[in-house]
């Protein structure tokens, strides 16, 4: 059993490692080291918490840690990069559900302590947490109840919201916005009733109030995310990340665990900031998105698209690439689905060996997760210095000979600028249509995940390179001089 001094020192060390980890993830070259900071920090946190003062039950705790570690390793080693957003959403759900269970247990312990004190029981009969509760004054107990309410509400919303986000990302739930009749009024009503139950609980009502509160929050989480469309999924993922952090922080206050408070606050604040950045990149109202698209109704009918999609074969694409001096590649989720990043990396190597300038243009919300495309390209060993963000490269498209779009739709859609009635009107996009010629690698003529038509596909300087992205890029490799 470790003393409290060791646990406090470990909490400070782990917090510093978590901060270094977050800071390092902002730079691709430091990201791998930053991940190790996070791994070591979490290992320190788990070890010193498990063997800290007042902790027992090792006969079941250690086997559970081992089982959980094995399951985590197995899942992480088998999950494909295309499934990473789903995995993140699933992990968020675990954090939310854990917060609900811990909060329920905390209130049961509080009630047991009060009942025991009424019977004159000694403090030595209590568990470590119950003993802590027994030392609290009435006003401190009220704050404990408030912490329990927050943990249950945020945790329950996070759980069901993350489950639905997982379903939408995995294609098991329809990606279109879908709410019950009454829509936002149902959410508002459930939230108001939750507030009434919270007040009743703090005023002395029974445990049943927390059970109903959790059910209402489960409904709100489910209904909120059901009302958010596929185009907003990157924001949803980062938003749920923030929710899971605040749920963890609330439980940290309940358990008087400084490390859990710091860790939860780091996750909650960074997730909220990332959500705001994503909304800005998509010209979405932050409050509207987190409220399930409230106020996000189109103001009119989107403009009809004229023209036709003109197909091209591998020979035609290769000919243009061989004659080009500058090439910009725009990756999207279609590249991830086809696992074409390796073939794309080889194409880039051949083009650069031929003396051509090749760069990547990354939109902030490309893929299903912030930074999704950067991770895929790093996995394929694409040099960091040719991977540029939207603001760094958008002005260069008029000077670009060939733009290749691989599995992207909304982030290269000119309707965002030209059609005020488009669902993505005002969203900053990559202006690939300003290049001399645009090749779009796409499976077919569908509208993609978000269901929004793209006028780019019908422009005179655009050619559609139909087929599986990996097979299409592979077919080019032997044709590049």
Active site residue 410: yes
pLDDT at 2: 63
Rounded to whole angstroms, the Cα distance separating 431 from 398 reads 9
| CA distance to 239, 242, 372, per residue, from 88 (Å) | 12, 12, 12
Q: Which of 107, 232, 410, 419 is catalytic?
A: 410
pLDDT at 448: 61
pLDDT at 295: 45
Listed as ranges, residues in the chain with pLDDT below 50 are 295-297
Topology of domain 314-477, CATH: Rossmann fold (3.40.50)
Angle at 164 between CA 407 and CA 374, to 5 degrees: 35
Rounded to whole angstroms, the Cα distance separating 193 from 352 reads 62
The domain locations on the chain are 1-78, 82-290, 314-477
405-457 pLDDT per residue, tens: 998 888 899 988 888 888 778 888 999 999 999 999 988 766 565 667 889 99
179-204 pLDDT per residue, tens: 788 777 898 899 999 999 999 999 98
């Amino acid at each position: 059993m470790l003393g409290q001094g060791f646990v406090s020192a470990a909490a400070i060390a782990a917090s510093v490692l978590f901060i270094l980890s977050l800071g390092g993830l902002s730079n691709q070259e430091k990201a791998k080291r930053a991940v190790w900071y996070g791994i070591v920090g979490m290992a320190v946190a788990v070890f010193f918490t498990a063997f800290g003062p007042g902790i027992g039950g090792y006969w079941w705790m250690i086997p559970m840690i081992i089982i959980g570690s094995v399951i985590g390793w197995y899942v992480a080693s088998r999950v494909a990069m295309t499934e990473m957003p789903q995995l993140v959403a699933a992990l968020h759900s675990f954090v939310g559900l854990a917060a609900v269970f811990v909060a329920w247990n905390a209130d049961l312990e509080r009630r047991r302590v009060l009942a025991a004190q009424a019977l004159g029981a000694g403090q030595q009969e209590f568990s470590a947490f119950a003993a802590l509760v027994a030392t609290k004054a009435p006003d401190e107990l009220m704050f404990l109840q408030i912490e329990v309410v927050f943990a249950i509400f945020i945790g329950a919303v996070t759980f069901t919201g993350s489950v639905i986000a997982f379903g939408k990302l995995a294609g098991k739930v329809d990606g279109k916005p879908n709410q019950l009749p009454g829509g936002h009024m149902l959410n508002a009503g459930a939230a108001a009733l939750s507030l009434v139950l919270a007040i009743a609980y703090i005023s002395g009502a029974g445990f049943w109030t927390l059970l109903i509160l959790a059910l209402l929050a489960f409904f709100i989480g489910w209904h909120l995310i059901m009302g958010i469309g596929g185009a907003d999924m990157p924001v949803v993922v980062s938003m749920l990340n923030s929710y899971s952090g605040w749920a963890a922080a609330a439980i940290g206050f309940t358990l008087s665990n400084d490390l859990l408070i710091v860790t939860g606050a780091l996750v909650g604040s960074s997730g909220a900031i990332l959500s705001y950045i994503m909304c800005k990149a998509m010209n979405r109202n932050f409050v509207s998105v987190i409220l399930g698209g409230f106020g996000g109704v189109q103001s009119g009918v989107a403009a009809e698209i004229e023209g036709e999609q003109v197909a091209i074969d591998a020979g035609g694409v290769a000919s243009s690439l061989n004659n080009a001096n500058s090439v910009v590649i725009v990756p999207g989720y279609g590249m991830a689905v086809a696992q074409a990043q390796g073939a794309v990396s080889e194409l880039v190597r051949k083009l650069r060996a031929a003396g051509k300038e090749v760069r990547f243009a990354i939109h902030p919300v490309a893929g299903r997760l912030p930074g999704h495309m950067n991770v895929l390209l790093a996995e394929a060993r694409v040099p960091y210095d040719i991977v540029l963000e939207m603001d760094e490269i958008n002005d260069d498209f008029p000077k670009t000979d060939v733009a290749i779009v691989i599995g992207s739709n909304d982030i290269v859609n000119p309707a965002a600028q030209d059609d005020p009635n488009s669902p993505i009107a005002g969203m900053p996009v990559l202006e690939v249509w300003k290049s001399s010629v645009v090749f779009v690698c796409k499976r077919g003529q569908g509208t993609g995940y978000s269901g929004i038509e793209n006028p780019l596909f019908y422009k005179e300087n655009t050619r559609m390179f139909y087929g599986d992205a990996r097979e299409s890029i592979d077919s080019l490799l032997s044709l590049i001089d």
